[in-house]
Amino acid sequence: MAKKVTKKTVTKKTGTQKKVATRKRTAAKKSTKSAIAATSVSEAQVRVRAYEIFCSGRNASNPDADWLQAEQELTVELRP
């Protein structure tokens, strides 16, 4: 049984079109990385803040609650 062959339309990009497309992708990657970096909190920051909360005694010595509260506080501080 013979397979049906279909033709695909291929558009060729000129040299300048390729450069522009590459620049756009690179810019998009950089802006995404910087947005993630600006809104993410490092584990070390959370650890320090959780320890401060623990020392204050606010969550009755519940380390999980301290950690979650620290993450929440630090994330809210980074929001624009």
The tens digit of pLDDT for each residue in 15-66 reads: 666 665 556 666 655 555 544 555 688 999 999 999 999 998 877 778 899 9
In a domain, residue 53? The reply is yes
Does residue 61 fall inside a structural domain? yes
Local confidence band at 71 (pLDDT 50, 70, 90 cut-offs): very high
Q: What is the separation, in whole angstroms, between the first and last Cα of the chain?
A: 62
Residue 73 placed within a domain: yes
Domain contains 6: no
> Would 1 be classed as within a structural domain?
no
Which stretch of DSSP H or E encloses residue 29?
A: helix 15-39
Q: What is the pTM for the complete model shown?
A: 0.49
Q: Establish if 3 belongs to a structural domain.
A: no
Domain that holds residue 57: 15-78
Number of separate domains in the chain: 1
